[in-house]
Amino acid sequence: MQNDLFGASEPVGQAESTEVLAKRLRAELNQHGYNYYTLDAPTIPDAEYDKLFKQLQTLEEQYPELKTSDSPTLRVGGAPLPEFSQVQHSVPMLSLNNGFEDEDVFAFDRRAREGLGLTIADTTTEIEYAIDLKFDGLAINLRYVNGVFAQAATRGDGYTGEDVTENIRTIRSIPLRLHTDKPPAILDVRGEVLMFKSDFDRLNQRQRDAGGKEFANPRNAAAGSLRQLDSKITAQRSLRFFAYGIGSLEGAALPASHRELLEWYREMGIPVCEEKANVRGPQELLDFYRQVQDKRSQLSYEIDGVVYKVNRFDLQERLGFVSRAPRFAIAHKFPAEEALTTVLDIEVQVGRTGAITPVARLAPVFVGGVTVTNATLHNEEEIQRKDVRVGDTVIVRRAGDVIPEVVASVLEKRPAQTEIFRLPQACPICGSQIVKPEDEAIARCSGGAIKCAAQRKGALFHFASRKALNIEGLGEQLIEQLVDKNVVVTAADFYKLGLMALAELDRMAEKSAQNVLDALEVSKSTTLPRFIYALGIRHVGESTAKDLALHFADVEALMAANEEQLLRVNDVGPVVAKSIVSYFADALNVELVRQLIASGVNWPKIEKVDLSTAVFAGKTLVLTGTLPSLSREQASALIEKHGGKVSGSVSKKTHFVVAGEDAGSKLLKARELGITVLSEEELLALCAG
């Protein structure tokens, strides 16, 4: 058998060794799998494929040393995992800004033109854009090392995701070895895992036949399948993959444009969607958007919009990024699906910071692929503006196809004698007065976390969350019980819990309780940025917590800081500074910090650095290759500690490139642009002053 993609097969004969036979079977099965799952053009009957597969499986069972990392037999799943490990993305998986109206598209084009130095008056030069579908699935990073599939990770928070390698192996359209004789040393393929509508229908039929719970929509089914700890379950569910971007690339030249990148992927056997276009100017963007919108229901898979990208990579680099999103791309979302239902009641929820949010309790309605029973009404001003009342027939929309919201009341269907909704004067949880600051649209419970159980639960759950102290097993249900039974009042009480107090709670046993205690002990070793974030200071997110830690280097110095001192911290403005001062002005919050430290919560000492005068202040650095002694995470932390910013790509705005062994295209580009290249030794020397 001659195989164009995988090379010529070995001659078959009686003297054929087991090693040669296994190699031939792998090549044939991989070719047939590619024909079937990627090209949709099978060349042999299923029964013949199954016969070849069984032959290879038997051979590998008899001779385990013959099994390779790209063997088709790995697609059936392996032993269940105890949990998913974490993977740090070498290049962040950032999200896109969204557009919903035509004007958003014209504004996007206008910003791109301005960023590239094209004047409004220049009507002869239109930017070329690549358009792809926006799939309704899960973003995934696939890493290939020397052409062989090595690892897969979810997007996670954009910087760290979950290792789902074993589950991704079961997706038959994803090649376990790239179809090329000259693979890159490192290739991170970005794309979407999804479930086709027909596969979704078959899965739900199997669930019904087995008496199991049906999935609400293909995206939920794909997410549930991908997050199975037992990859054999994932293998039984037909997942698909489409590539749409790139992360790290080493040992090969980056194609000149987005469209050329996807064509390169296709040549290497990586699935790409055929529904695409290259156009010029905003009007052509909108024309393609409407074409796709018209045939959306006819597609084999769910989409929720299209994605526009400046096609050329050199122009993308010139445009760069803003915040956590690229300037060169935007997602144009389809109008959210809407439905009519009835408002049964309007209740208020109390959030972690005391924010009072009215919520409409609705007669169940199926909209946007899920059954909706609750919808946010945002705040009192929003309810009054929309004049939503109990008993109203309302239009419900899943905003961005995610968050259910009430769009408007249908006045002609309003029953007689309905009453205008008024926000309660007292908190429904603790009875404290509800206050509304003059400069805010949101009313808040004045009780605070000590008096208000809802705020207390929110604060405790935030403290235990993954981005804060990351206390495994300490979820919302367990925290609710601990608060309701008055076992825990502040986060410091977590570290006073005993085995019996936990074991006596609902759905807990001695082993589960011990696991929580072990997780609490592990959580004591943390970092100062995580600790600051875990305190739940209003307006202080992860990024601000990191800046505060680098600036003050000590929690005592932070607690003692006044507004003027806080305003010297990177990205801290008057609102944030006032919030921090107000938080530590409360003696109970200061006492909480002291109790947590007394309980054993600790972190490595941080050397205080004045970032404004640091060696890399205002500088952008790029890491490439393998450094002799520092990991990428350690090198990034060192650069940030000395005022620098770490970027994933080289551009004219890059000040330094730190290169190690096997540095690839980034090093070549740095030399082309005349950017200073540093070794690890030189980086350490600069940081040492």
Q: What is the pLDDT of residue 5?
A: 37
Most confident of 9-18, 43-52, 132-141, 316-325: 132-141
Q: Which helix (H) or strand (E) holds 512?
A: helix 510-523
Buried b (16+ CB within 10 A) or exposed e, 633-642: eebbbbbbbb
Most confident of 4-8, 9-13, 263-267: 263-267
| pLDDT bucket at 351, cuts 50 / 70 / 90 | very high
269 vs 626, which has greater pLDDT?
A: 269
Handedness of CA 80, 86, 92, 94 (dihedral sign): positive
Mean pLDDT across 310-319:
95
The percent of the chain in helix, strand and coil, each rounded to the nearest 5, is 40, 20, 40
Q: Which helix (H) or strand (E) holds 281?
A: helix 281-294
Q: What is the pLDDT of residue 51?
A: 82
Q: Per-residue pLDDT tens for 631-685?
A: 888 898 888 888 888 887 788 889 999 999 878 778 888 888 899 999 999 999 9
Q: Enumerate the domain spans of the chain.
A: 18-76, 128-333, 338-413, 447-523, 528-598, 620-687
- Residue for token pair 């993959």: 241
Q: How far apart are CA 658 and CA 208, in angstroms?
A: 56
Mean pLDDT across 292-312:
92
> Of 46-50, 282-286, 318-322, 498-502, where does mean pLDDT reach its minimum?
46-50
Categorise residue 182: left if φ over 0, alpha if ψ from -120 to 50, beta otherwise: beta
Mean pLDDT across 582-588:
94
Architecture of domain 18-76: Orthogonal Bundle (1.10)
Rg, Å, the chain Cα set: 28
Q: Residue 222 pLDDT more than 50?
A: yes
Mean pLDDT across 537-546:
89
528-598 topology per CATH: DNA polymerase; domain 1 (1.10.150)
CATH number of 447-523: 1.10.150.20
Q: Per-residue pLDDT tens for 490-537?
A: 999 999 999 998 998 988 889 999 999 999 999 999 999 999 999 999
Mean pLDDT across 436-442:
81
Q: How far apart are CA 535 and CA 537, in angstroms?
A: 6
Q: What is the pLDDT of residue 622?
A: 92
Amino acid, single-letter form, for residue 467? K
| CB atoms inside a 10 Å sphere around CB 603 | 17
Q: Residue 237 pLDDT more than 50?
A: yes
pLDDT above 70 as % of the chain? 93
Mean pLDDT across 123-140:
89
Do the first three CATH levels of 447-523 and 528-598 match, i.e. the same topology? yes
Active centre residues (catalytic):
134
Q: What is the pLDDT of residue 122?
A: 63
pLDDT above 90 as % of the chain? 56
CB 294 within 8 A of CB 30: no
Secondary structure (DSSP) of 624-657: ESB-SS--HHHHHHHHHHTT-EEESS--TT--EE
CB 214 within 8 A of CB 371: no
Q: What is the pLDDT of residue 402?
A: 63
Q: Residue 257 pLDDT more than 70?
A: yes
CATH class name, domain 338-413: mainly beta
CB 202 within 8 A of CB 214: no
Q: What is the pLDDT of residue 4?
A: 39
Q: Per-residue pLDDT tens for 381-438?
A: 889 889 999 999 999 987 655 678 898 899 999 999 999 999 999 999 999 999 988 7
74 vs 563, which has greater pLDDT?
A: 563
Q: What is the pLDDT of residue 654?
A: 92
Pick the CATH number of 620-687 from 3.90.190.20, 3.40.50.10190, 1.10.357.10, 3.40.350.10: 3.40.50.10190
- Secondary structure letter of residue 509 according to DSSP: -
Q: What is the pLDDT of residue 321?
A: 84
| pLDDT bucket at 8, cuts 50 / 70 / 90 | very low
Q: How far apart are CA 28 and CA 437, in angstroms?
A: 70
Superfamily of domain 128-333: DNA ligase/mRNA capping enzyme (3.30.470.30)
Mean pLDDT across 80-93:
84
| pLDDT bucket at 286, cuts 50 / 70 / 90 | very high
Amino acid, single-letter form, for residue 81? L
- Residue for token pair 């002799």: 628
Mean pLDDT in the chain? 88
Q: ∠ at Cα 630 (624, 632), nearest 5°? A: 45
CB 257 within 8 A of CB 192: no
CB 208 within 8 A of CB 273: no
User: Using CB atoms within 10 A of its CB, is residue 683 exposed (0-12), middle (13-18) or buried (19+)?
Assistant: buried
Q: Per-residue pLDDT tens for 101-120?
A: 899 999 999 999 999 988 65
